[in-house]
Structure 1
Amino acid sequence: MDQESGWEELRKEARKIEGDLDVKLSSYAKLGARVTQGGFGDGDTPSMGSNRSWKSMEMEIQSLLEKLLDVNDSMSRCAASAAPTTSVTQKLARHRDILHEFSQEFRRIKGNITAMTEHAELLSSVRDDISEYKASGSPRMQILRERAAIHGSIAHMDDVITQAQTTRAALGSQRAMFGDVQGKVKQLSEKFPIVRGLIGSIRRKKSRDTLILSAVIAACTLFLILYWLSK
């Protein structure tokens, strides 16, 4: 008798939760239909208040689904503890089917609302970008862009002038170095005649010594020949 009363209490609680879920899901479905049919307007995004109401409704439905699942589990344990009849088994299966249908409906509506909300936010972002682009075409923005371009050109010219000055300084240094080399070459060319004259003097002295030595040898040879003939 206690098990039967417990079963009936659990079933009564399950029917109450199912009724609450039916009402909540109906309101949630209307909200989803309004969103999917463009209830926010072309490109409009949901307000903060409506967003909070969705989240609150989603949390309530999720909580009711969890409660119904717990009650169904309790009903299953209660039915298993007694000899389950065909009627009890059918009623328990029906409650499980209702829970499954509610869960699927909740996920479907939630997915539609999420997709449409993201779509609306994307359109709003695109509109903001277009508005910003159009605003950038105002005369003031054009003047600012031209000023920035002029500053960029001046900076580029400064870089070119700096490079030219650096190149000029390098060429001047090379010219000075070439001048020093030319001066040294000139100095060497001025010293070369003296060296050549010294070498020539040495060669002439060597030739004279050779002639003297040859003459002495010839005289000695002639003297020996005459001495040999006189005997």
Structure 2
Amino acid sequence: MEFEIQSLLDKLQDVNDAMSRCAASTAPTVSVTQKLARHRDILHEFAQEFRRTKGNLSSIREHADLLSSVRDDITESKATGGMSPRVHLLRERASIHGSINQIDEVIGQAQSTRVALSNQRALFGDVQGKVKQLGEKFPVIRGLLGAIKRKKSKDTIILSAVIAACTIFLIIYWLSK
């Protein structure tokens, strides 16, 4: 049935090609061009549906084969009283496949995070350059930027002191226990 449908799709492709050649030899009108486009679209839809159905049937066959082999393995396992090496291999294969999928997801997330961070870095670099240019042009803005830097360094010193004090208190508490 698959070969029959494939041959019919090939014939439909040949008919579409012949219609295109015939339309090209005469003066093509808008309606003829639209009809040819519609026929090509129909052929494309049929071909896509055929490929999708063919893929689904292939997937169903593989699933049925897997289930039958699993049933055979279960029957064999019950008959021997233990698990066959084939079942162990299937479980290991499934475990490895799951791990690989998880690794791929983590790598994808890491790559998207890297791209986002590099975009942010470029954006901040552009903003910093523009602010620096404004500071060079206007002395008031330069003074404001200097005040911001002093406030930032003051905040950094205070934050460092708080972290150091908390660390010292934590060490004293840990040693007193």
Could you state the TM-score of these two structures normalised by the residue count of structure 2? 0.45
Larger relative contact order (C-alpha < 8 A, sep ≥ 6)?
A: 1
Could you state the TM-score of these two structures normalised by the residue count of structure 1? 0.34
Indicate the structure (1 or 2) with the bigger Cα radius of gyration: 1
